[in-house]
Amino acid sequence: MSLEKWIDKEDLEKLRALENPKVERVIEEYLTLCKPAKAKIIDDSPEDIAFVRQLAIDKKEEIVLGLEGQTVHFDGYYDQARDKKNTRLLAPAGEKEKYGKHINTVDRDEGLKEVLEIMDGAMEGKIAIIRFFSLGPTKSRFSLCALQITDSAYVAHSEDLLYRQGYEEFKRLEDSEDFFYFIHSAGELTDKYVTKNVDDRRIYIDLQENRVLSVNNQYAGNSLGLKKLALRLAINKAIHEDWLTEHMFISAIWPLDKSRKTYFLGAFPSACGKTSTAMVPGNTIIGDDIAYLRIYESGEVRAVNIERGIFGIIKDVSPKDDPVIYNSLMTPRETIFSNILVSEGKSYWLGMGKQVTIPESGMNWTSSKLGEWHEGFCCNEEGKEFKFSHPNARYTIRLEELENVDEALHDPNGVEVSAIIYGGRDSDTSVPVYESFSWEHGVYIGASVESETTAATLGKAGVRKHQPMANLDFIVVPLGEYLEAHLDFGRRIAQNKVPKIFSTNYFLKDKKGRYYDEILDKKIWLLWAEKRVHGECSAMETPIGYIPKYEDIKALFKDAFDFDYIKERYVAEFSIRIQKFLKKIERIDIIFKNEKDVPEEFFNELENQRQRLLEAKEKYGTEVLSPFLFQG
């Protein structure tokens, strides 16, 4: 069947200009399967980019708001988050066992048969939008080309804000078959323009073909192939090509006198402070979500943000806690909101601050099922009153729209990485910040990250979920293989260029259940880590790693916030809780002993940590060690 059936002459010329037979084969295969009314080739021109946004408005996938450039999109009532159950890795026959318990798999042949049957005719009557993107800066050794075919103009518009245009990058690819491709259909829509057949929602990942097939969904975490779906493909590719793909922010940490900047990466599970750490006032941001890491010929680690935008949770974005983002969202610029409350062309979300009066009625995420929301609207499945905005409501903007964007955002060589932070949520064990003894010890720390649940999220507080490198949901290789790749990566870094590795924990509580840290206190822990990178302050060796000295932290609080950080709080926050750490080691030990081919080095680090704690317990005769015991 000829592509002329769907694509007009002018667009066909754009496609043929790429001179890539595989691109044409993929497009013809999926247009034949999905049966759209027509297809549109989008290049990097402003006219084509504007066409996509306008199509989203014309097709009522987005609604224009009162501030210029802003639109809102509503996902369906049952399509508000990543669908973990139906996001599956297509595992070849006989290989399901090797992936471990953390990976949701389906037999490759069975899965392909199922999803292709669901996708048959899924685009009938619609326009298939064919996009070309670059994951990472263009003209860079980091760049990966990505082809997207979707029938959702909202998805295509979102990708324009989040990713770099890649039509010209595909030209440089010539006839190479080394690119990712993503096929997405929102499927049949209701009269509210949301996915109708959510029971047939599927997101299937095929590592053999470097592709993702996604159907019957609109929520961006399921439909935007280039985001968390591409992350999975890139993790697999990186591990087999001796580089790393990580779920990390990239930020430049500046000292108070602004005399230099030092690039940090950070991996934090959801609700553990990742975006707020990336956006700490006084620093500059390159990315808040995904990083590619490579070792350059000169021996240093360099990293890029694969994205150019933010698809961020909007809940609790307020002028007090997130002034940069809040100001960007409250001024005219191209922005896509999703699943918030809209009333008279204005946007409202949970936690936006006391300065805003929430309207008594409006359109929100429940409207596709229940009609217009109003105060006292009842009830959800748990019998609770509906919130006016969904807790997972989002905003999508380009990073260039933020006043704190770093100048190296699009640098094709990336930035040199001086430090990596692993953060978790822990109410009773770990100190606010400490430094690892080595790269290997840092890999152990990253692999041992845990996120403690709160009553607000799962209905039961204090349950610790293991989140190695804050990446568990996206690791599509066996955990042992993933850890070995990290250890091997460290071996290849020049000895004087190895990034320091830190652990942070903003959620330590006192006996009354109150947090010791205020929201912006994380700035102090970053300032201390930055000084450690440059050898400007000493630290105390403890069984868990190097911790700050009291006088250094006290001085930083005074200089940054004019705040007196008292000794009593320092002792409470930086005491080493031996028994708590030993229990964590037991949990981590059990998890990794149930995984295959975990590197011996990992277990060596675990045992060394255990022995240091036991020796300290015997030496001092107590289970909670004051930091002042380690002054030496």
Q: Which H or E element spans position 106?
A: strand 105-107
Residue 463 sits at φ, ψ, to 5 deg, of -85, 125
Rounding to the nearest 10 degrees, give the CA dihedral for residues 233, 235, 238, 242: -160
User: In sequence order, which residues have a C-beta less than 8 Å from that of residue 578 and are 6 or more positions away?
Assistant: 543, 613, 616, 617, 623, 624, 625
Listing DSSP states for 298-361 in one string gives TS-EEEEES-SEEEEE-TT--TTT-HHHHHHHTSSS-EEEES-EEETTEEE-TTS-TTSPPPSE
Amino acid at 558: K
Q: Minimal CA–CA distance to 584: which of 422, 442, 430? A: 430
Q: Minimal CA–CA distance to 59: which of 40, 45, 43? A: 40
Q: Identify the sign of the CA torsion 579, 581, 582, 583.
A: positive
Helix%, strand%, coil% for the chain, nearest 5: 35, 20, 40
Cα angle value 354/355/357 (rounded, 5°): 80
Q: Minimal CA–CA distance to 209: which of 347, 82, 112, 323? A: 112
Report whether 340 contacts 389 (CB < 8 A): yes
The 10 Å CB-count burial string (b at 16+, else e) for 288-310 is bbbbbbbbeeeebbbbbbbbbbb
User: Rounded to whole angstroms, how far apart are CA atoms 446 and 316?
Assistant: 27
Beta-bridge partners for 91: 107
Q: Which of 272, 378, 379, 537 is catalytic?
A: 272
Amino acid at 621: G
Size (the chain), residues: 632
Calculate the alpha carbon distances from 527 to 256, 257, 504, 534 in Å: 8, 11, 12, 11
Q: Minimal CA–CA distance to 188: which of 122, 117, 114? A: 122
User: Rounded to whole angstroms, how far apart are CA atoms 103 and 114?
Assistant: 19
Amino acid at 150: T
Report whether 290 contacts 306 (CB < 8 A): yes
Residue 116 gets the label, from left (phi > 0), alpha (psi -120 to 50) or beta, of alpha
Amino acid at 276: S
Q: Which H or E element spans position 215?
A: strand 211-215
**Alpha helix ranges (H) inside 401-491:** 439-447, 455-458, 479-491
Calculate the alpha carbon distances from 360 to 77, 343, 350, 377, 380 in Å: 20, 9, 14, 10, 18
**Alpha helix ranges (H) inside 410-454:** 439-447
Give the number of other CB atoms < 10 A from CB of residue 60: 13
Active site includes 145? no
Residue 176 sits at φ, ψ, to 5 deg, of -65, 145
Please identify every residue annotated as catalytic.
272
